[in-house]
Structure 1
Amino acid sequence: MNHFKHPNESRVVSTDQVLVNDLNNYNTLFGGVLMKKLDNNATLSARRHARVKECVTASTDSIDFLVPIRQTDSVCIESFVSYTGNKSMEIFCKVIAEDMLTGERKIAATAFLTFVALDTDKRPITVPSIVPESKEELFLFESGSKRANMRRQRREHSQELTEIIGLEKPWERIKEGSY
Protein backbone atom coordinates (compact mmCIF):
# COMPACT_ATOMS: atom_id res chain seq x y z
CA MET A 1 0.00 0.00 0.00
CA ASN A 2 1.21 3.53 -0.80
CA HIS A 3 1.98 5.63 2.24
CA PHE A 4 0.40 8.64 0.58
CA LYS A 5 -2.33 9.49 -1.88
CA HIS A 6 -3.47 12.58 -3.72
CA PRO A 7 -6.84 14.07 -2.75
CA ASN A 8 -8.02 13.54 -6.32
CA GLU A 9 -7.87 9.77 -5.74
CA SER A 10 -10.68 10.08 -3.16
CA ARG A 11 -12.75 12.66 -5.03
CA VAL A 12 -16.46 11.85 -5.34
CA VAL A 13 -18.91 14.04 -7.24
CA SER A 14 -22.66 13.54 -7.18
CA THR A 15 -25.44 15.66 -8.59
CA ASP A 16 -29.11 15.52 -7.68
CA GLN A 17 -32.24 17.45 -8.36
CA VAL A 18 -34.26 19.04 -5.56
CA LEU A 19 -37.64 17.40 -5.22
CA VAL A 20 -40.72 18.88 -3.59
CA ASN A 21 -40.53 16.55 -0.58
CA ASP A 22 -36.94 17.75 0.03
CA LEU A 23 -38.25 21.26 0.76
CA ASN A 24 -38.99 22.90 4.09
CA ASN A 25 -41.73 25.46 4.78
CA TYR A 26 -39.53 28.19 3.19
CA ASN A 27 -39.42 26.22 -0.09
CA THR A 28 -35.70 25.62 0.32
CA LEU A 29 -33.83 22.34 0.77
CA PHE A 30 -34.08 20.88 4.28
CA GLY A 31 -30.72 21.09 6.03
CA GLY A 32 -31.11 17.48 7.15
CA VAL A 33 -31.59 16.29 3.56
CA LEU A 34 -28.35 18.02 2.59
CA MET A 35 -26.58 16.59 5.66
CA LYS A 36 -27.51 13.05 4.59
CA LYS A 37 -26.21 13.70 1.06
CA LEU A 38 -22.96 15.09 2.52
CA ASP A 39 -22.46 12.07 4.78
CA ASN A 40 -23.08 9.67 1.88
CA ASN A 41 -20.56 11.44 -0.37
CA ALA A 42 -17.97 11.77 2.39
CA THR A 43 -18.29 8.08 3.28
CA LEU A 44 -17.47 7.13 -0.30
CA SER A 45 -14.45 9.47 -0.32
CA ALA A 46 -13.18 7.94 2.94
CA ARG A 47 -13.67 4.37 1.68
CA ARG A 48 -12.01 5.23 -1.63
CA HIS A 49 -9.00 6.70 0.19
CA ALA A 50 -8.59 3.85 2.69
CA ARG A 51 -9.80 1.10 0.29
CA VAL A 52 -11.82 -0.62 3.00
CA LYS A 53 -15.31 -2.04 3.30
CA GLU A 54 -16.25 0.16 6.25
CA CYS A 55 -15.59 3.68 7.40
CA VAL A 56 -17.47 5.29 10.25
CA THR A 57 -18.30 8.94 10.76
CA ALA A 58 -16.32 10.07 13.81
CA SER A 59 -17.64 13.62 13.69
CA THR A 60 -19.36 16.16 11.57
CA ASP A 61 -17.08 19.05 12.33
CA SER A 62 -18.97 21.79 10.58
CA ILE A 63 -21.54 22.48 7.94
CA ASP A 64 -21.84 26.05 6.80
CA PHE A 65 -25.03 26.78 4.90
CA LEU A 66 -24.10 29.75 2.74
CA VAL A 67 -27.05 30.27 0.38
CA PRO A 68 -30.47 28.60 0.24
CA ILE A 69 -30.99 25.80 -2.27
CA ARG A 70 -34.29 26.02 -4.14
CA GLN A 71 -36.40 23.54 -6.09
CA THR A 72 -35.19 25.00 -9.39
CA ASP A 73 -31.60 24.12 -8.41
CA SER A 74 -29.53 21.03 -8.90
CA VAL A 75 -27.24 20.10 -6.03
CA CYS A 76 -23.69 19.04 -6.84
CA ILE A 77 -21.61 17.71 -3.94
CA GLU A 78 -17.88 17.28 -4.34
CA SER A 79 -15.93 15.55 -1.56
CA PHE A 80 -12.35 14.42 -1.03
CA VAL A 81 -9.87 13.66 1.73
CA SER A 82 -8.29 16.97 2.68
CA TYR A 83 -6.21 15.96 5.71
CA THR A 84 -5.31 12.78 7.57
CA GLY A 85 -4.19 11.79 11.01
CA ASN A 86 -2.78 8.37 11.76
CA LYS A 87 -6.18 6.65 11.77
CA SER A 88 -8.56 9.43 10.82
CA MET A 89 -9.47 11.20 7.59
CA GLU A 90 -10.90 14.68 7.28
CA ILE A 91 -13.24 14.93 4.31
CA PHE A 92 -13.96 18.33 2.77
CA CYS A 93 -17.28 18.75 0.99
CA LYS A 94 -18.44 21.62 -1.15
CA VAL A 95 -21.97 22.02 -2.37
CA ILE A 96 -22.66 23.82 -5.63
CA ALA A 97 -26.24 24.85 -6.35
CA GLU A 98 -26.99 25.45 -10.01
CA ASP A 99 -30.17 27.19 -11.06
CA MET A 100 -31.39 24.91 -13.83
CA LEU A 101 -33.28 27.76 -15.51
CA THR A 102 -30.50 30.37 -15.63
CA GLY A 103 -27.34 28.26 -15.25
CA GLU A 104 -26.13 30.45 -12.36
CA ARG A 105 -23.92 28.52 -9.91
CA LYS A 106 -23.19 29.32 -6.28
CA ILE A 107 -21.28 27.67 -3.47
CA ALA A 108 -24.28 26.80 -1.29
CA ALA A 109 -22.48 25.05 1.59
CA THR A 110 -19.16 23.69 2.80
CA ALA A 111 -18.57 20.94 5.33
CA PHE A 112 -15.85 19.02 7.13
CA LEU A 113 -16.50 15.48 8.33
CA THR A 114 -14.06 13.10 10.01
CA PHE A 115 -14.01 9.36 9.34
CA VAL A 116 -12.16 6.35 10.69
CA ALA A 117 -11.47 3.31 8.51
CA LEU A 118 -12.14 -0.09 10.07
CA ASP A 119 -10.61 -3.48 9.46
CA THR A 120 -12.66 -6.69 9.26
CA ASP A 121 -12.66 -6.89 13.08
CA LYS A 122 -14.12 -3.35 13.28
CA ARG A 123 -10.87 -1.88 14.64
CA PRO A 124 -9.43 1.42 13.36
CA ILE A 125 -6.60 1.09 10.86
CA THR A 126 -3.81 3.40 9.73
CA VAL A 127 -4.70 5.38 6.62
CA PRO A 128 -2.45 6.80 3.88
CA SER A 129 -1.42 10.43 4.25
CA ILE A 130 -2.26 13.15 1.73
CA VAL A 131 -0.09 14.99 -0.78
CA PRO A 132 -2.08 17.96 -2.07
CA GLU A 133 -1.76 19.13 -5.65
CA SER A 134 -4.13 22.04 -6.34
CA LYS A 135 -4.26 25.45 -4.64
CA GLU A 136 -7.57 24.47 -2.97
CA GLU A 137 -6.15 21.14 -1.73
CA LEU A 138 -2.99 22.82 -0.44
CA PHE A 139 -4.98 25.44 1.50
CA LEU A 140 -7.15 22.75 3.10
CA PHE A 141 -4.13 20.56 3.90
CA GLU A 142 -2.11 23.39 5.45
CA SER A 143 -5.01 24.42 7.69
CA GLY A 144 -5.87 20.78 8.54
CA SER A 145 -3.75 20.49 11.68
CA LYS A 146 -5.50 23.53 13.14
CA ARG A 147 -8.91 21.92 12.53
CA ALA A 148 -7.65 18.59 13.93
CA ASN A 149 -6.54 20.37 17.10
CA MET A 150 -9.96 22.05 17.42
CA ARG A 151 -11.59 18.62 17.03
CA ARG A 152 -9.41 17.21 19.81
CA GLN A 153 -10.32 20.09 22.11
CA ARG A 154 -14.02 19.73 21.31
CA ARG A 155 -13.89 15.96 21.92
CA GLU A 156 -12.17 16.52 25.30
CA HIS A 157 -14.85 19.06 26.21
CA SER A 158 -17.59 16.61 25.16
CA GLN A 159 -16.03 13.91 27.36
CA GLU A 160 -15.96 16.32 30.33
CA LEU A 161 -19.57 17.23 29.65
CA THR A 162 -20.68 13.58 29.69
CA GLU A 163 -19.35 13.31 33.25
CA ILE A 164 -21.55 16.21 34.35
CA ILE A 165 -24.80 15.75 32.48
CA GLY A 166 -27.35 13.34 33.87
CA LEU A 167 -29.00 10.29 32.43
CA GLU A 168 -32.37 10.93 34.05
CA LYS A 169 -35.34 11.69 31.87
CA PRO A 170 -36.24 15.41 31.94
CA TRP A 171 -39.62 14.75 33.56
CA GLU A 172 -37.86 12.87 36.37
CA ARG A 173 -35.63 15.89 37.11
CA ILE A 174 -38.68 18.16 37.25
CA LYS A 175 -40.38 15.81 39.72
CA GLU A 176 -37.25 15.75 41.93
CA GLY A 177 -36.85 19.52 41.73
CA SER A 178 -33.31 19.28 40.34
CA TYR A 179 -34.08 20.92 37.03
Structure 2
Amino acid sequence: MKKQFKTVKSSRISISQLMLPSHSNFSGKIHGGYILSLMDQIAFACASKYSGNYCVTASVDTVDFLHPIEVGELVIMKACVNYVGRSSMVVGIRVESEHIQTGKSKHCNSSYFTMVAKDENGQNTEVPGLILTNGDEVRRFYNCIQQIEARKTRNRHELEFDYLSETALKNLENYNVKIEMKER
Protein backbone atom coordinates (compact mmCIF):
# COMPACT_ATOMS: atom_id res chain seq x y z
CA MET A 1 0.00 0.00 0.00
CA LYS A 2 1.33 3.42 -0.95
CA LYS A 3 2.12 5.83 1.90
CA GLN A 4 -0.34 8.70 2.13
CA PHE A 5 0.80 12.31 2.72
CA LYS A 6 -1.22 15.39 3.65
CA THR A 7 -0.41 19.08 3.91
CA VAL A 8 -0.23 21.05 7.13
CA LYS A 9 -3.02 23.21 5.69
CA SER A 10 -5.35 20.21 5.59
CA SER A 11 -5.04 19.96 9.39
CA ARG A 12 -5.79 23.60 10.20
CA ILE A 13 -8.73 24.24 12.47
CA SER A 14 -9.93 27.15 14.58
CA ILE A 15 -12.57 27.74 17.21
CA SER A 16 -13.96 30.86 18.82
CA GLN A 17 -15.82 31.09 22.09
CA LEU A 18 -17.16 33.95 24.16
CA MET A 19 -15.85 33.87 27.73
CA LEU A 20 -18.67 33.88 30.28
CA PRO A 21 -18.68 34.54 34.04
CA SER A 22 -19.12 30.79 34.59
CA HIS A 23 -15.63 30.30 33.06
CA SER A 24 -13.91 32.61 35.54
CA ASN A 25 -11.79 31.83 38.59
CA PHE A 26 -11.85 33.48 42.02
CA SER A 27 -9.95 36.53 40.75
CA GLY A 28 -12.43 37.18 37.95
CA LYS A 29 -10.13 36.03 35.13
CA ILE A 30 -10.88 33.05 32.90
CA HIS A 31 -9.79 29.87 34.63
CA GLY A 32 -6.61 28.38 33.15
CA GLY A 33 -8.09 24.90 33.48
CA TYR A 34 -11.01 25.90 31.29
CA ILE A 35 -8.61 27.19 28.60
CA LEU A 36 -6.62 23.92 28.83
CA SER A 37 -9.83 21.97 28.32
CA LEU A 38 -10.62 23.96 25.17
CA MET A 39 -7.04 23.45 23.97
CA ASP A 40 -7.40 19.69 24.45
CA GLN A 41 -10.63 19.75 22.43
CA ILE A 42 -9.07 21.61 19.51
CA ALA A 43 -5.99 19.35 19.61
CA PHE A 44 -8.30 16.32 19.40
CA ALA A 45 -10.29 17.84 16.51
CA CYS A 46 -7.13 18.83 14.61
CA ALA A 47 -5.38 15.46 15.03
CA SER A 48 -8.53 13.48 14.25
CA LYS A 49 -9.23 15.57 11.15
CA TYR A 50 -5.67 15.06 9.92
CA SER A 51 -5.35 11.36 10.70
CA GLY A 52 -8.92 10.30 9.98
CA ASN A 53 -8.93 8.40 13.28
CA TYR A 54 -9.93 8.84 16.90
CA CYS A 55 -6.99 10.42 18.76
CA VAL A 56 -5.92 10.61 22.39
CA THR A 57 -3.71 13.11 24.20
CA ALA A 58 -0.30 11.61 25.02
CA SER A 59 1.41 14.71 26.43
CA VAL A 60 1.21 18.46 26.68
CA ASP A 61 4.34 20.56 26.35
CA THR A 62 4.81 23.78 28.22
CA VAL A 63 1.78 26.02 28.59
CA ASP A 64 2.79 29.54 29.63
CA PHE A 65 -0.11 31.87 30.34
CA LEU A 66 1.19 35.15 28.90
CA HIS A 67 -1.84 37.39 29.45
CA PRO A 68 -5.05 36.88 31.41
CA ILE A 69 -8.32 36.47 29.55
CA GLU A 70 -11.25 38.56 30.73
CA VAL A 71 -14.93 37.71 30.98
CA GLY A 72 -16.64 39.03 27.83
CA GLU A 73 -13.64 38.53 25.57
CA LEU A 74 -13.74 36.28 22.54
CA VAL A 75 -11.16 33.48 22.66
CA ILE A 76 -9.83 32.31 19.32
CA MET A 77 -7.80 29.11 19.13
CA LYS A 78 -5.92 28.04 16.02
CA ALA A 79 -4.34 24.62 15.63
CA CYS A 80 -2.43 22.65 13.03
CA VAL A 81 -0.27 19.56 12.88
CA ASN A 82 3.39 20.56 13.10
CA TYR A 83 5.01 17.10 13.20
CA VAL A 84 4.08 13.48 12.57
CA GLY A 85 5.71 10.28 13.69
CA ARG A 86 4.40 6.78 12.97
CA SER A 87 1.18 7.11 14.99
CA SER A 88 1.74 10.40 16.80
CA MET A 89 1.27 14.01 15.83
CA VAL A 90 2.38 17.22 17.49
CA VAL A 91 -0.41 19.78 17.28
CA GLY A 92 0.59 23.42 17.72
CA ILE A 93 -2.07 25.62 19.30
CA ARG A 94 -2.16 29.41 19.49
CA VAL A 95 -4.63 31.09 21.84
CA GLU A 96 -5.63 34.71 21.37
CA SER A 97 -8.32 36.79 23.02
CA GLU A 98 -10.13 39.70 21.47
CA HIS A 99 -11.93 42.52 23.24
CA ILE A 100 -15.29 42.54 21.46
CA GLN A 101 -15.89 46.30 21.64
CA THR A 102 -12.41 47.57 20.75
CA GLY A 103 -11.28 44.72 18.51
CA LYS A 104 -7.92 44.69 20.32
CA SER A 105 -6.43 41.20 20.45
CA LYS A 106 -3.63 39.68 22.51
CA HIS A 107 -1.64 36.46 22.32
CA CYS A 108 -2.50 34.59 25.52
CA ASN A 109 -0.55 31.36 25.12
CA SER A 110 0.78 28.72 22.79
CA SER A 111 1.32 25.05 23.42
CA TYR A 112 2.08 21.74 21.77
CA PHE A 113 -0.09 18.68 22.33
CA THR A 114 1.18 15.26 21.32
CA MET A 115 -1.74 13.22 20.05
CA VAL A 116 -1.80 9.52 19.14
CA ALA A 117 -4.11 8.03 16.50
CA LYS A 118 -6.07 4.92 17.50
CA ASP A 119 -7.83 2.33 15.37
CA GLU A 120 -11.28 0.83 16.09
CA ASN A 121 -9.64 -1.62 18.54
CA GLY A 122 -7.87 1.11 20.50
CA GLN A 123 -4.46 0.23 19.06
CA ASN A 124 -2.01 2.83 17.76
CA THR A 125 -2.44 3.28 14.03
CA GLU A 126 -0.25 4.88 11.37
CA VAL A 127 -0.91 8.49 10.36
CA PRO A 128 -0.30 10.12 6.99
CA GLY A 129 3.08 11.71 6.34
CA LEU A 130 3.33 15.49 6.40
CA ILE A 131 3.91 17.70 3.35
CA LEU A 132 5.79 20.88 4.31
CA THR A 133 5.12 23.74 1.90
CA ASN A 134 6.87 26.78 3.39
CA GLY A 135 9.65 27.91 5.72
CA ASP A 136 7.41 28.26 8.78
CA GLU A 137 6.20 24.68 8.42
CA VAL A 138 9.77 23.40 8.05
CA ARG A 139 10.85 25.44 11.10
CA ARG A 140 7.96 24.12 13.22
CA PHE A 141 8.68 20.52 12.15
CA TYR A 142 12.37 20.94 13.04
CA ASN A 143 11.51 22.55 16.40
CA CYS A 144 9.33 19.54 17.22
CA ILE A 145 12.26 17.22 16.50
CA GLN A 146 14.36 19.28 18.92
CA GLN A 147 11.63 19.17 21.61
CA ILE A 148 11.32 15.39 21.26
CA GLU A 149 15.09 14.95 21.64
CA ALA A 150 15.14 17.30 24.67
CA ARG A 151 12.35 15.27 26.29
CA LYS A 152 14.31 12.05 25.76
CA THR A 153 17.43 13.62 27.32
CA ARG A 154 15.40 14.97 30.25
CA ASN A 155 13.81 11.56 30.85
CA ARG A 156 17.24 9.85 30.79
CA HIS A 157 18.58 12.42 33.28
CA GLU A 158 15.66 11.84 35.65
CA LEU A 159 16.30 8.10 35.57
CA GLU A 160 20.01 8.58 36.21
CA PHE A 161 19.76 11.06 39.13
CA ASP A 162 21.09 9.40 42.29
CA TYR A 163 19.28 11.12 45.16
CA LEU A 164 21.39 9.22 47.67
CA SER A 165 24.67 10.58 46.34
CA GLU A 166 26.47 13.06 48.62
CA THR A 167 27.50 15.09 45.55
CA ALA A 168 23.94 15.32 44.23
CA LEU A 169 22.61 16.36 47.64
CA LYS A 170 25.42 18.92 48.08
CA ASN A 171 24.50 20.48 44.70
CA LEU A 172 20.90 20.92 45.88
CA GLU A 173 22.07 23.15 48.76
CA ASN A 174 22.36 26.01 46.22
CA TYR A 175 18.56 26.07 45.98
CA ASN A 176 15.80 27.08 48.33
CA VAL A 177 15.49 23.64 49.89
CA LYS A 178 16.23 21.91 53.17
CA ILE A 179 16.90 18.17 53.05
CA GLU A 180 15.94 16.18 56.15
CA MET A 181 16.05 12.60 54.95
CA LYS A 182 15.90 10.08 57.83
CA GLU A 183 17.41 7.22 55.84
CA ARG A 184 19.89 7.10 53.03
Does structure 1 residue 116 correspond to structure 2 residue 113? no
Q: Which has the larger radius of gyration?
A: 2
Q: CA distance change for structure 1 residues 134 and 68 in 2, over 3 Å: closer, same or farther?
A: farther
SS of 1:97 mapped into structure 2? strand
Q: Percent identity between the aligned chains? A: 27
Q: Deviation at 1:63?
A: 1.3
Provide TM-score, normalisation by structure 2: 0.80
Within-5 A mapping of 1:108-147 = 108-147=108-147
Inter-partner Cα distance in structure 2 for 1:51 and 1:132: 19
Inter-partner Cα distance in structure 2 for 1:16 and 1:156: 40
Aligned partners of 1:87 and 1:117 also within 8 Å: yes
Letter paired with 1:59: S
> Which stretch of structure 1 is more off in the superposition, 96-105 or 3-12?
3-12
Kindly tell me the number of residue pairs found equivalent between the two proteins. Answer: 162
Letter paired with 2:136: E
SS of 1:47 mapped into structure 2? helix
Letter paired with 1:29: I
Gapped regions of structure 1 (runs ≥ 5): 165-176
Aligned partners of 1:72 and 1:101 also within 8 Å: no
Inter-partner Cα distance in structure 1 for 2:98 and 2:134: 23
RMSD of aligned Cα (Å)? 2.1
Q: CA distance change for structure 1 residues 2 and 45 in 2, over 3 Å: closer, same or farther?
A: farther
Inter-partner Cα distance in structure 1 for 2:3 and 2:101: 45
Inter-partner Cα distance in structure 1 for 2:150 and 2:27: 33
Gapped regions of structure 2 (runs ≥ 5): 164-181
